[in-house]
C-alpha cells in the first residue's frame, strides 16, 4: 500500500465520474441521500490486489437505460436482454479496472474477475464488510456496494 493511496470512497468517486463521463457520456457525482436498491439484478466484479474488493453495481432501471442507450446508441426497446447485460457488464469491467489502477497504483499488480449478473447481493459477500456508496447521474440515484475480504 503506497503512502498516497486514496480511500475507497475517494477512488470510487473518481472512477465513477471518469467511467460515466468517458464511456456513457453522463455526469455522475456522489449523492447526498441514498436511493433505493434495485433489489433484484445487480452486477458484480472482484478486484484482486493486495486484498480483494467485491464491487456490486446496483442500478435502477432508468439508470441502466441511460447508460446502455448512450453506449450502444440504440433505443432500449430495440435491445435484447443479453445485449443490455453485456453492455452493463462491460461497463462494470471498465469501472473495476479503473478502480484497481487508481486504488493500488500503476506499479501494483491486480486482477479482475469476469463480471457477473447476480440476483441480490451474492451470498459469498460478507454483509458486515459491505459499504454502500450512492451516486447521482442526472437525478438517477444508484449504488456501488463494496465489500473487502
Partner 1 sequence: MDQTAEARKVLIVDDSSTSRMITRRCFEMASAGPICFVEAPDGAAALALLQEQNVDLIVTDINMPKMDGMTFVWKVKMNKRLESKPIIVLSSMKNERMQSALAGLGVTSFVQKPISPAKLAEILGEPV
Please report, as ranges, the residues that interact with partner 1 according to CB under 8 A. 19, 22-23, 71-72, 83, 86-87, 89-91, 93-94, 96-98, 100-101, 104, 106-112, 114
Nearer to partner 1, 31 or 70 (CB): 70
In the complex, least distance from residue 114 CB atom to partner 1, rounded to whole angstroms:
7
Between CA 68 and CA 127 the distance in angstroms is: 29
In this structure, is the dihedral angle defined by the CA atoms of residues 124, 94, 146 and 117, taken in order, positive or negative? negative
Nearer to partner 1, 106 or 123 (CB): 106
In the complex, least distance from residue 127 CB atom to partner 1, rounded to whole angstroms:
27
Closest CA to 30 of 42, 45, 15: 15
In the complex, least distance from residue 25 CB atom to partner 1, rounded to whole angstroms:
11
Nearer to partner 1, 85 or 141 (CB): 85
CB atoms within 10 A of CB 4: 6
In the complex, least distance from residue 92 CB atom to partner 1, rounded to whole angstroms:
9
4-7 LR contacts (CB < 8 Å, sep 24+): 5/103, 5/104, 5/105, 6/102, 6/103
Nearer to partner 1, 31 or 93 (CB): 93
Nearer to partner 1, 94 or 146 (CB): 94
In the complex, least distance from residue 86 CB atom to partner 1, rounded to whole angstroms:
5
Between CA 11 and CA 5 the distance in angstroms is: 9
Q: Are 112 and 47 in contact (CB under 8 A)?
A: yes
Amino acid at each position: 500500500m503506497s503512502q498516497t493511496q486514496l480511500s475507497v470512497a475517494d477512488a470510487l468517486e473518481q472512477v465513477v465520474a471518469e467511467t460515466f463521463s468517458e464511456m456513457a457520456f453522463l455526469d455522475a457525482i456522489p449523492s447526498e441521500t441514498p436511493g433505493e436498491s434495485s433489489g433484484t439484478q445487480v452486477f458484480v466484479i472482484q478486484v484482486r490486489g493486495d486484498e480483494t474488493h467485491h464491487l456490486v453495481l446496483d442500478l435502477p432501471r432508468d439508470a441502466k437505460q441511460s447508460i446502455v442507450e448512450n453506449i450502444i446508441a440504440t433505443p432500449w426497446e430495440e435491445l435484447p436482454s443479453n445485449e443490455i447485460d453485456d453492455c452493463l457488464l462491460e461497463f462494470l469491467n471498465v469501472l473495476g479496472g479503473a478502480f484497481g489502477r487508481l486504488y493500488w497504483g500503476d506499479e501494483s499488480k491486480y486482477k479482475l474477475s469476469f463480471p457477473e449478473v447476480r440476483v441480490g447481493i451474492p451470498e459469498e459477500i460478507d454483509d458486515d464488510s459491505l459499504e454502500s456508496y450512492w451516486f447521482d447521474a442526472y437525478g438517477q440515484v444508484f449504488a456501488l456496494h463494496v465489500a473487502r475480504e
